[in-house]
């Protein structure tokens, strides 16, 4: 079973880290968009955001693996993930504590900082404005999530299925909790960012080789390198 191999376990760990960080990030964006709404509309906007993100993840999951099989799109997906990494890095360094606090209060529906207001201080907006902002963000972030999971689970279909199911479950059932945990323990976000960066660089490397050598030749080259490494290790041990 592929999950019992070292490569399968490493891919699964990457997928779990990616799902946790991106689900939390998506929830923060939804909460931030809903924070400017009146209390009676806020929960409805958050529900719209979570449902949209869940449906989009399912939709992208159905087509992304097929698209990544097209020569050149693996490289394009890796470049897109590099941009996502840069955006996340800037957001993590900037902090935005006030906005994140407002987003978490909107998601929880509670006055977490005890200032007498829930998601206070955020600019007011209409329900239509908030819903449009949420759906646009969901499209981008759901595609990012599915691309990252597909890239991390490359050649491990069981890991890919687990990753996509986990992504959908986290977004639909536990996104608010994940967002609060990541907000409290920032190192989780940085660790997840490092994993996404690794996946993005791997996708760029493999995508470049597919374009330069062709899919079959690139795969053959990887197999030859693995065989050479396996043969050299016993030989070196015997020499020593």
Please check the confidence at residue 172 and state whether its pLDDT lies above 80: no
The reported pLDDT for the residue numbered 227 is 44
pLDDT at 9 over 80: yes
The whole-model pTM stands at: 0.69
pLDDT for 222 beyond 60: no
Q: How far apart are CA 112 and CA 97, in angstroms?
A: 13
Cβ atoms of 46 and 30 closer than 8 Å? yes
Determine the average pLDDT of the residues in 164-168. Answer: 83
Q: What pLDDT was estimated at residue 110?
A: 58
Cα-Cα end-to-end distance for the chain: 34
Angstrom CA distances, 221 to 75, 86, 103, 215, 231, stand at 18, 31, 48, 10, 15
Which pLDDT score, from 0 to 100, does residue 224 have? 46
Tens of pLDDT along 125-155? Answer: 788 888 888 888 888 888 888 888 888 887 7
Other Cβ atoms less than 10 A from the Cβ of 80: the count is 18
DSSP string of 102-153, one letter each residue: HHHHHHHTS-TT-SSSSSTTSPP--HHHHHHHHHHHHHHHHHHHHHHHHHHT
State residue 15's pLDDT score: 87
Average pLDDT over residues 36-42: 76
pLDDT in tens, 177-201: 777 777 677 788 888 888 888 888 9
| Model confidence pLDDT, tens digit, residues 93-121 | 765 555 666 666 666 665 555 555 555 55
Q: What DSSP line would sit under 70-95, residue for residue? A: STTHHHHHHHHHHHHHHHHHHHHHH-
Predicted confidence band at 223 (pLDDT cuts at 50, 70, 90)?
A: very low
Instruction: Tell me which residue of 8, 2, 19, 9 sits closest to 142, measured CA to CA.
Output: 19
- Own/partner pairs, 128-133, CB within 8 angstroms, 24+ separation: 130/33, 130/34, 130/36, 130/37, 130/41, 130/45, 131/45, 131/48, 131/49, 133/33
Torsion on CA atoms 177, 160, 133, 136, rounded to nearest 10? 180
pLDDT at 221 over 70: no
């Amino acid at each position: 079973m592929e999950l019992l191999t070292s490569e399968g376990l490493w891919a699964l760990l990457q997928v779990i880290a990616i799902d946790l960080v991106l689900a939390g990030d998506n929830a923060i964006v939804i909460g931030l968009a809903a924070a400017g709404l009146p209390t009676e509309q806020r929960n409805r906007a958050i529900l719209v955001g979570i449902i949209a993100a869940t449906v989009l993840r399912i939709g992208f999951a159905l087509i992304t693996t097929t698209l990544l099989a097209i020569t050149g799109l693996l490289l394009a997906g890796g470049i897109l993930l590099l941009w996502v990494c840069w955006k996340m890095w800037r957001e993590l360094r900037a902090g935005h504590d006030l906005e994140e606090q407002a987003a978490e209060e909107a998601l929880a529906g509670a006055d977490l900082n005890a200032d007498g207001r829930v998601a206070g201080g955020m600019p007011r907006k209409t329900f239509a404005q908030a819903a449009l902002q949420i759906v646009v963000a969901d499209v981008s972030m759901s595609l990012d999530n599915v691309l990252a999971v597909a890239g991390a689970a490359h050649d491990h279909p069981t890991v890919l299925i687990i990753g996509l199911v986990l992504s959908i479950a986290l977004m639909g059932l536990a996104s608010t909790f994940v967002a609060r945990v990541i907000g409290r323990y920032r190192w989780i976000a940085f660790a997840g960012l490092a994993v996404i960066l690794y996946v993005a660089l791997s996708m760029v490397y493999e995508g470049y080789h597919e374009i330069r050598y062709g899919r079959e030749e690139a795969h053959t080259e990887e197999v030859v390198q693995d065989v050479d490494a396996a043969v050299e290790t016993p030989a070196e041990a015997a020499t020593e």
